[in-house]
Amino acid sequence: MSESSTQGGKVSAALVRGDGIGPGVVDSAVAVLAAAGAEIDWLPVPAGEDAFRDTGSALPDRTVQTVRDTGLALKGPMTVPMSGYPSPNGGMRDIVRAYVNVRGVRHYPHRGYARYPGLDVTIVRDVTEDLTRGAQQETDGGEAGIALKVITRAASERLAHFAYEWAISHGSETVHVAHLAPAQRTTDGLFLRSALSVAERYPALRVVEEAIDPVCVHLLQDPSPYRIVLTPNVYGGILCGVVAGLAGTVGVMPGGNFGPDGAVFEAGHGSAPRYAGTDTANPVGLILSGAMLLDHVGQRDVGERVRQGVFDTIAEGVALTRDLGGAATTSEFTARCCALIEK
Ligand code: NAD
């Protein structure tokens, strides 16, 4: 399966429940997708803390093989220990050779979220290079740190293509390219030039370049002109936090990672270990990640039913989780969302 969408029919997908709040929100997503009529054969596989305890690996071979075979996964967040084992989240993305991470937020017509009625922003960011994937070194006995920022034309052009295609397939006429080219000429300058040169092949799109600092200012003032923001890895991660704040909670941000060998879908939040087992987490991010998976495999109408169910549940306002201003549990939100979808 490639990064482009596939067409309809029942598909198999690896299912990783994750750590902390992960199992609760993943179970919620599976229930809501089933209520909407999703045709997915879920293949539950171990990963994360339990898998490490049981097998000595946070990403056991069976899990790697299942993701490789299906090219498709829905995963809960996994805790990344400061030391011990490498991030199984990054490991999952690497199996499909993901090069792009897509995360979006939108406005919901609920009283607590009326601040940004025009909010509908998707961040399309690279996940293969920049500061976090380049060489890092501690020097001077720990008194200095060096991190190498790497940006290439090939990766930037591939990412830009993906962002412009995403914009077209999701009905967006405008893409903003967020960068720091004047200050980081060799890296961000190359990223920007690459994005603009690819844009010449998309005359129907309005591609607007803007430095990252005014992008942040303008998003906070009025996000409505922004639909798709194309940006390198590090700025993209920060912008995801900014737009999650505009949405009122990180709990409503879905995400997908796409590569030539498949796609891995996961919410924009982490495992929030403090809330593990409390049944209080907002499952919307994971449910909407499931809707993105449905779009990807050609079950767009089912994905749309899932999105409508989430929209209706939040708009109705009677089963909202704590971060949405309510007092409902994850299970209560899930039950209400399923009921509205099945009505
Ligand atoms: P986090 O997103 O887990 O939690 C930050 C805060 O956001 C939480 O305390 C909680 O108040 C809120 N929050 C997060 N998800 C929520 C939800 N669904 N509903 C309601 N509130 C929610 O971020 P963190 O504390 O920095 O990270 C915790 C662990 O998760 C770390 O080990 C980190 O490495 C890992 N992590 C994993 C992923 C991933 O799986 N892709 C992403 C980010 C962090």
Sign of the CA dihedral running 6, 265, 127, 300: positive
Q: What's the gap in Å between 237 CA and the centre of ligand 1?
A: 14
CB 334 within 8 A of CB 28: yes
Q: 82 pLDDT exceeds 90?
A: no
Residue nearest to atom 5 of ligand 1 (CA): 272
Mean pLDDT of the chain: 94
User: 269, 282, 289: which to mutate for ligand 1, most atoms within 8 A of CB?
Assistant: 269
Q: What's the gap in Å between 310 CA and the centre of ligand 1?
A: 21
Q: What is the pLDDT of residue 322?
A: 94
Q: Which residue ranges have their beta carbon within 6 Å of ligand 1?
A: 21, 25, 77-80, 89, 250-251, 266, 269-272, 274, 281-282, 285, 323
3-class state of residue 80 by DSSP: coil
User: 49, 132, 265, 271: which to mutate for ligand 1, most atoms within 8 A of CB?
Assistant: 271
Q: Is the pTM of this model over 0.75?
A: yes
Q: What's the gap in Å between 147 CA and the centre of ligand 1?
A: 25
% of the chain exceeding 70 in pLDDT: 97
- State the Cα–Cα distance between residues 51 and 35, nearest whole angstrom: 29
Q: What is the pLDDT of residue 53?
A: 94
Report pLDDT digits (tens) over 216-235.
999 999 999 999 999 999 99
- 42: tokens are 């879920």
Q: What is the pLDDT of residue 6?
A: 56
Q: What is the pLDDT of residue 137?
A: 87
Q: What is the pLDDT of residue 111?
A: 61
Q: What's the gap in Å between 304 CA and the centre of ligand 1?
A: 26
Report pLDDT digits (tens) over 33-51.
999 999 999 999 999 999 9
Question: Relative to the CA of 81, which ligand 1 atom is closest?
Answer: 32
Question: Average pLDDT in the 229-252 region?
Answer: 95
Q: What is the pLDDT of residue 1?
A: 38
Q: 117 pLDDT exceeds 80?
A: yes
Q: What is the pLDDT of residue 4?
A: 43
Question: Average pLDDT in the 155-174 region?
Answer: 97
CB 265 within 8 A of CB 289: yes
Q: What's the gap in Å between 272 CA and the centre of ligand 1?
A: 4
List beta partners, residue 101: 125, 257
Q: What's the gap in Å between 154 CA and the centre of ligand 1?
A: 32
Do domains 1-102+251-343 and 115-247 share one topology? The answer is yes
Q: What is the pLDDT of residue 112?
A: 61
The DSSP string of 291-311 is HHHHHHTT-HHHHHHHHHHHH
| CATH no. of 115-247 | 3.40.718.10
Residue nearest to atom 1 of ligand 1 (CA): 270
- State the Cα–Cα distance between residues 210 and 341, nearest whole angstrom: 40
Half-sphere exposure in the Cβ direction for 258 (13 Å, CA): 26
Question: Average pLDDT in the 285-296 region?
Answer: 98
Q: 308 pLDDT exceeds 70?
A: yes
Question: Average pLDDT in the 193-203 region?
Answer: 98
Instruction: Locate the domains of the chain by residue range.
Output: 1-102+251-343, 115-247
- Work out the pLDDT band at 343, boundaries 50, 70, 90: confident
Give the number of other CB atoms < 10 A from CB of residue 11: 20
The answer for residues whose C-beta is within 8 angstroms of residue 163's C-beta and 6 or more apart is 100, 124, 175, 195, 228, 230
Q: What is the pLDDT of residue 109?
A: 78
- Work out the pLDDT band at 108, boundaries 50, 70, 90: confident
CATH topology of domain 1-102+251-343: Isopropylmalate Dehydrogenase (3.40.718)
Q: 133 pLDDT exceeds 80?
A: no
- State the Cα–Cα distance between residues 56 and 46, nearest whole angstrom: 12
Report pLDDT digits (tens) over 9-35.
889 999 999 999 999 999 999 999 999
